Amino acid sequence: MKTLAMLLMVGLCLGRVRAANAVVTGAIFGPGSESFPIAVVPLKNVGGDADGSLGTRFARVLSRDLDLSGYFRLLDPKTFIEDPQTSGTTAADIDFVGWATLGAQALVKGTINAAGDTVTVEVRLFDVPGRHDVPAASRRFTGSRADLGRMANKTADGILEFLTGERGPFDSAIAFVSTRGGRLKEVYRFTFDMDDPVKLSDERSLVVTPRWRNDNRAVLFTSYREHIPRLFQLDLATRQVTRLVGGPGQVLDGAWSPDGSKLLVTRDEGGNSDIYLLDSGGQMIRRLTDHWAIDVSPVWAPDGQRLAFCSARTGSPQIYIMNIDGSGLTRVSHTGSYNTSPAWSPKGDRLAYATRASGGFQIVVGGVDGSGEQTITSMGSNENPSWAPDGRYLVFSSTRAGQHHLFLSDREGKSQKQLTRGSADDTSPAWSRRLE
Amino acid sequence: MWRVALALVLIAPLAGACKKKSMRPGEGGAGAAGLGEEGLGGSSLERSKRGLGPEEGGILGDVHFAYDSYELDGSARDVLARNVDWLRQNSRAKVELEGHCDSRGTIEYNLALGAKRAKSVKDYLSSQGIAGERVSTISYGKELPLCQEESEPCWARNRRVHSVVLGQ
């Protein structure tokens, strides 16, 4: 019988194998194998949560995170034998034999204490076959009621870190564009602890291509609020919207540098789009492309020294990389007649992009030099990939369930899960960095 | 029931009459929904804000394009020849050229492609003596399609430059 300690070793071994040779990833224990049965029990009330609603909500968010990770099979709470409110939450008091009979390899139990707006959560991961708790994946949180969901997300991230050697990505946010508020598109924020995305922008116009500022405190986007498309920034604390780039022409998209000191933008003047490097005040530092063909969709490498973008200079849209001083132009994509929307992984080692295939788009993931490319989607049309802060997962829009919805996938496409639902179109996701 | 039919009968000759006497865009405006009346003209975005779909054609004809192309073919030039005639006759009219794309491109790329389509038309008008200051351009990419079906007839309708007359 596998124990958590053994799995930890497998996880760590995989980590090493991954670094040396990407072929073996996930074969034994990875997203998509869903090999690992885990039970998540609602938190036990030790004060202030008499109806159990907070403890149940915590368990629901944590369960969803673990399910989305693709590593786990969540056991059905209806089969649980222990009453969450009367049974113990420490190793000495847990019926490990009973949990093993249900098929659980791991178990999450804990307590919640709510006093006024302050909530204290103690949550432990238990190794069921080993009959002990796992301190490295156990946590104590104190915060406001509004932080409860984030406590669950952080718990999931810690469990993933213990089991896989890589911290999970769930304490983060995804900005995207949606028609869910009406006929016009606005920017929304998805977080893993909320049932419904929160509306961020109030442009009452056309909005495209949201991206996070490096500190997660502002979202920039292209808006038609001044008739022609231009780049704006929404400060999430003050709700103020400011125009980032002046001057002539349309600004089609933009991205803050990893250190927040510079911008990459696509400016279209007189029907020719080119990529420019600007300072944080929107003043030009350097024109990076000067070609009659379309150049668009610039994204930063995480080191801030290179960019990836899409150019049609050879007659069809393809992915290129370039140094931020304008040197070293290199074509990355070589297969397919239409490759766009690059996204550079946070670890710097991979690019994802959308490739046109059989009438729709599919997501490709490969090395920055174009090596080892793999198409990770096949159902519906899939666009606008964006990397999770851990570099293990991606989010993109997909039509596989009808309308455009956001889907999450691990970078090999083994585990793909639907994030947003409903009759509206959800597009252009941008995953934030980890929250602080 | 027959009221709806009556409204439909009424709107057709009315719309035709408007076209003939070069109606001021936006004049049909406020749009009493019960009557099936529809405003003519206005930018595709303004129309979308008012809950109307983008307009197909209008005073000036739409120019269509091949997939991922911004080249003007023979039928595009035929439409543009008629548009040039109208612009010469209405020499005070200004026009905004809206570049649109079908759904088979990504969002940002299509914004750039729509801009190129509008530029192609502007260059053609310029070559026919229509002054540049009378002509502005904007790209809506694939954001404001005429139709939503995933089929060639619908894609073809959406690959267009739509001309909005701004004032005469």
Specify whether B66 is located in the same domain as B145. Answer: yes
**Cα distance from B133 to chain A (closest Cα, Å)?**
13
pLDDT above 90: percentage of residues in chain B: 67
Domain-by-domain residue ranges, chain A?
Answer: 4-164, 173-431
Question: What pLDDT, in 10s, does the model give residues A177-198?
Answer: 999 988 889 999 999 999 899 9
Q: How confident is the model at residue A3 (pLDDT cuts 50, 70, 90)?
A: low
Amino acid at A28: I
pLDDT above 50 (res A320): yes
Nearest to A338 by CA among A314, A366, A321: A314
Average pLDDT, chain A: 91
Let me know whether B34 and B59 are in one domain. Answer: no
B113 inside 8 A of chain A by CB: yes
Distance from first CA to last CA of chain B, Å, rounded?
Answer: 39
What pLDDT is recorded for position B18? Answer: 37
Question: Of A355, A358, A315, A360, which Cα lies nearest the Cα of A336?
Answer: A355
Assess A400–B contact: CB distance below 8 Å, yes or no. Answer: no
In whole angstroms, what is the distance from residue A179 CA to residue A208 CA? 11
Q: Which of A33-37, A226-230, A346-350, B92-96 has the lowest mean pLDDT?
A: A33-37
**Which residues of chain B make contact with A228, given a CB cutoff of 8 A?**
138
Same domain? B60 vs B136: yes
CB-nearest partner of A250 from B51, B115, B144: B115
Q: Measured between alpha carbons, how far is A300 from B120 in angstroms, rounded to an integer?
A: 31
Q: CA nearest A410: which of A356, A345, A336?
A: A345
Is residue B123 assigned to a domain?
A: yes
CA gap B143, B123 in Å, rounded:
24
Q: Does residue B45 form part of some domain? A: no
- Per-residue model confidence (pLDDT) at position A74: 95
Domain shared by B78 and B5, yes or no: no
Give the residue ranges of DSSP H helices in B36-96: 44-49, 74-89
* A130 has a pLDDT exceeding 60: yes
Interchain CB distance below 8 Å, A296 and B49: no
B3 shares its domain with B83: no
**pLDDT band at A249; cut points 50, 70, 90:** confident
- Rounded to a whole number of angstroms, the CA Rg of chain B reads 16
Asked whether residue B46 is assigned to any structural domain, the reply reads: no
- A33 token code pair: 């194998």
Task: Mark whether B78 and B121 lie in a shared domain.
Answer: yes
Which range among A230-239, A282-291, B19-28 shows the weakest confidence by mean pLDDT? B19-28
**Segment A276-298, tens digit of pLDDT:** 999 999 999 999 999 999 999 99
Q: Are residues B24 and B81 in the same domain?
A: no
Asked if A130 and A91 count as a contact pair (C-beta separation under 8 A), the reply is: no
Domain extent for B2: 1-40
Q: What is the pLDDT of residue B40?
A: 65
Select the residue from B109, B120, B139 to test the A interface by mutation, using most A Cβ atoms within 10 A: B109
Interface contact A250-B45, CB threshold 8 A: no
Query: Which residue type is seen at B73?
Result: D
Q: Pairing mode, if any, of strands A207-212 and A218-223?
A: antiparallel
The set of residues, in sequence order, having a beta carbon less than 8 Å from that of B158 and lying 6+ positions away, is B100, B101, B102, B103, B142, B145, B146, B147
CB A99, CB A39: distance < 8 Å: yes
- Are B24 and B99 within one domain? no
Kindly state whether residue B47 falls inside one of the protein's structural domains.
no
Q: Are A431 and A352 in contact (CB under 8 A)?
A: no
Structurally, what CATH architecture does the domain formed by A173-431 represent?
6 Propeller (2.120)
**Per-residue pLDDT tens digits for B6-17:** 333 333 333 333
Q: How many C-beta atoms lie closer than 10 Å to residue A304's C-beta?
A: 15
> What's the pTM value of the predicted model, to 2 decimals?
0.88
Q: Please indicate, yes or no, if residue B48 is contained in any of the structural domains.
A: no
CB atoms within 10 A of CB B113: 29
- Please indicate whether the domains covering A4-164 and A173-431 agree at the CATH topology level: no
Q: How confident is the model at residue A18 (pLDDT cuts 50, 70, 90)?
A: very low
Q: Tell me what the mean pLDDT of segment A140-153 comes to.
A: 97
Q: How many domains would you assign to chain B?
A: 2
Q: Determine the pLDDT at residue B36.
A: 54
Q: What pLDDT does residue B11 have?
A: 38
**Residues 6+ positions from B69 with CB-CB distance below 8 Å:** none
Q: What is the pLDDT of residue B144?
A: 96
pLDDT at A124: 97
Q: Give the bridge partners for A357, in sequence order.
A: A360
Query: Which pLDDT score, from 0 to 100, does residue B168 have?
Result: 67
Specify whether B30 is located in the same domain as B92: no
Of the residues A252, A364, A381, the best mutation for testing chain B's interface (the one with the most B CB atoms within 10 Å of its CB) is A252
Judging by DSSP bridges, how do beta strands A44-45 and A106-115 pair with one another? Answer: parallel
Report residue A331: phi and psi, to 5°: -80, 130
Banded pLDDT at A11 (limits 50, 70, 90): very low
Question: With contact defined as beta carbons under 8 Å apart, do A291 and A314 qualify?
Answer: no
Residue of B107, B116, B137 lying closest to A294 (CB–CB): B116
Whether residues B34 and B58 share a domain: the answer is no
* pLDDT attached to residue A15: 34
Encode pLDDT of A338-354 as tens digits.
999 999 999 999 999 99
List all residues 6 or more positions away from B59 whose beta carbon is below 8 Å from its beta carbon. Answer: B19, B22, B23, B25, B41, B86, B163, B165
Range of weakest confidence among A108-112, B5-9, B67-71? B5-9
Tokens of B142: 């694939």
| Mean predicted confidence (pLDDT) in A74-91 | 93
CATH number at residue B88: 3.30.1330.60
Cβ distance A294 to B49 less than 8 Å, yes or no, reads no
> Are B64 and B144 contained in the same domain?
yes
pLDDT at A20 over 50: no
Model-level ipTM above the cut of 0.85: yes
Question: Hey, of B49, B98, B106, which one would you mutate to test binding to chain A, going by the most A CBs within 10 A of its CB?
Answer: B106
Name the class of domain A4-164. alpha beta
Per CB-CB distance under 8 Å, the chain A contacts of B51 are 183
Answer whether residue A138 shows pLDDT above 80.
Answer: yes
